[in-house]
Structure 1
Amino acid sequence: MFTVRTLAAACAWLCAAASAHAASASASSHASPKAEVIHWWTSGGESAAVKQVAQAYRNAGGVWIDTAIAGGDQSRAVTINRIVGGNPPTAAQFNTSKQFLDVIEAGMLNNVDTVARAQNWDQLLPAPIIDVIKVDGHYYAVPLNIHMQTWFWYSKSAFRKAGIAKEPESMAEFFAALDKLKAAGIIPLAHGGQAWQETVLFSAILANMGGKELYLKSMRDRDQATLLSPAFRKVLLTFKRLKAYVDAGAPGRNWNDATALVISGRAGFQVMGDWAKGEFTNARQVAGRHYGCMAGLGPGTPYLIQGDVFVFPRTDDAQAVKAQNLLANVVSQPGLQVGFSKLKGSIPVRTDVNAAELDLCAQKGIEIMKDRARQAGVTEVYLTPDQNGAMQDVLTAYWNTNMPAEKAQRSIANALKY
């Protein structure tokens, strides 16, 4: 990963290159705004959703150049390499997190304060989102949607086959349902054995067992006493207990392939962000009829949010800035956010949208978001990429080996100490 110092050193070169390019571009100032957009929306549901953004941009008079790169880590790496190398895209997708903090601190992004002021983001947006896209009084990303990371998805047909009459409302009931699925010959828990997916699963257990207090003390405050407490150790033990309900084909499996197991009824549950709903939609399944969704195992479970944003690499090229401003305004519109979320599985970041157009699960999410007491950020909102990566390494090692819970606990506490 690039450090702030590396990015800052490259910034002067980039700015000089951008200024030189501006002179040659001035002759075409009347051309349609052209935006090359880097993103990682490549699964079926994601691909359908991003086409909504591309078409809306074209409808507004722009030219969309699509650069899709599979995998968030790979896509972000390409974006940062190109920014540092002096060949930045017009815009790039990031998650609503600290993933782009180094780039902001190096002065390599244009801010979007004009759009933020016009739409009153200070009052409109949830605090966990503002905390990562507003730095030193300036907004540096345009949020498109809100994702909740730890939904419990389940197959209605698998429930019927296993004799599960109702949604589990506690951790004990969840494990009882997993046991019934296993007895019925169904994969109890569809899981993709990738490190980030294990972090999602762990976050779900932490939020559902410890509530908002334990979650925030652990992830936001990185409180050492909390991280070394019996309560946190119990979360780790419960997380590892789930390994017995995952099939042998899980290692290396992509998240959408795990979702496909639930869609087909071969698996009962998946714990995954609401982007998974885009896969159900793409398979023509209907929430409440073919599959179910639970935001948690109890009414007070914290709603762990992030989302997708566009960032705009710094440039003085008038045409590029024009294209950036057009895209910022396009993705901020309520109609586009609804159309995108219907296919992506998310909910709009704006509150002044027609929720009736969205499905049952999205409406649940919108209703929960009205209760600010339930709002919390995902781990990447509170932790730096290095901290989150270090914790993720411990969790995946703990999940995949015979590492004792006590060692995992000490290692996480040490990783989050500084």
Structure 2
Amino acid sequence: MDARRMVERLRAGDARALARAVSLVEDGVEGAGELLAECRKFTGNALRVGVTGSPGAGKSTLVDQMARWLRDQGKRVGVVAVDPTSPYTGGALLGDRIRMQSLATDEDVYVRSMASRGAMGGLAHAVGGVCDVIAASGREIVLIETVGVGQDEVEVAQLANVTVLVLVPGMGDEVQALKAGVMEVADIFVVNKSDCGGAEQVEAEIVAMQGLAERQDSWVAPVVRTVATTGEGIAGLMETVQRCAEVKRASAADRRSLRQAQDRLFDSASAALGVAQDETSFGITGAQLRLDHLGVAVKSIAGARDFYEMLGMKVSHEETVKHEQVRVAMLAMGESRLELLEPTHGDSVIGRFLAKRGEGLHHIALKVEDVDATFARLKENGVRLVNDEVRVGAGGHRYFFVHPASTGGVLMEIVGKG
């Protein structure tokens, strides 16, 4: 098998090459890995939309309508429909191509039915690879329909950029939506067959449970009503899908920026302090510098320490630093420590930090051999300092802060021996 040649053919619009490539990846034959590697060079920014929900919710009809809407917008579409495995042939028990006849003659829509082959979570093991192949063929959006086995269908959220959970009135789905896992994976709730009685109740119960779903992004999963058999609500659903994808992309970009900032953290610290392998102009060597602690601003030490103690971290010291208007608790963390900071006054430094940014990382602290000499060297070299002198903090340690403007955006505490 010439993987590169096959990818060239499927990218040129050869439907037989695409179907063959999908089969090779699905079956996991020899050379499938090489084929996937070639395909992944061309997957681009293809959007993957997962559609999950209980059997009978109308997922297949909904996916058909979603594909129609996308084609009306000029998009090239791929559909991967995962069906239960036939006990006789080992293949898909239901063929979604039969249920999507209206798109069968559209060369810009590729529909593939896959057997779950006993995989849990509503997906077959090879779905991710199959989606990569379809995306490499130039399909801008890939719709992924899961088996429909109930609350175990959470794997789709790991594969899809946007996950749509389909519910219908009168089937107990409003109860299923509240079970562990399902609320968390849904980016959009669809109440399908909303022309039936009970749609309002399902929507109300979902909205009432929104607060239980904890997310890392700013997206709040909305509820969209549809009638898949007539196409009612499809335009609103797809506009919501696109909006969700944009929000999640922006959130992912923010997280990448945060990770990059964290990666630069110690480089910035070294630059600010003049740390190098050999003696620097600041007179500090790498051997003299180590991470002392991470400072985390919290609303309540009592409320926050429970989590860390579950990880086996114990509070080694706790006290109130009156001149900083803060109560601190130190927890051992290997060779360094975690410092929980609870304000004793709303107008304190930590109080204002919490009001503006909420709980989270406040500063990092690096320990040096001679804090007074370090303070003098940094000041002489024009490093912007927060404090005008070395101060005494919790546990009697001596410290001063370096302004984020000099450290690449991170508030840095320099700590010396007590």
TM-score band, normalised by shorter chain: under 0.3
When the two structures are superposed, what TM-score results if normalisation uses the length of structure 1?
A: 0.21
The structure whose Rg is larger is 2
Report the TM-score, using the length of structure 2 for normalisation: 0.21
User: If each structure's strand is expressed as a fraction of its own residues, which one has the higher value?
Assistant: 2
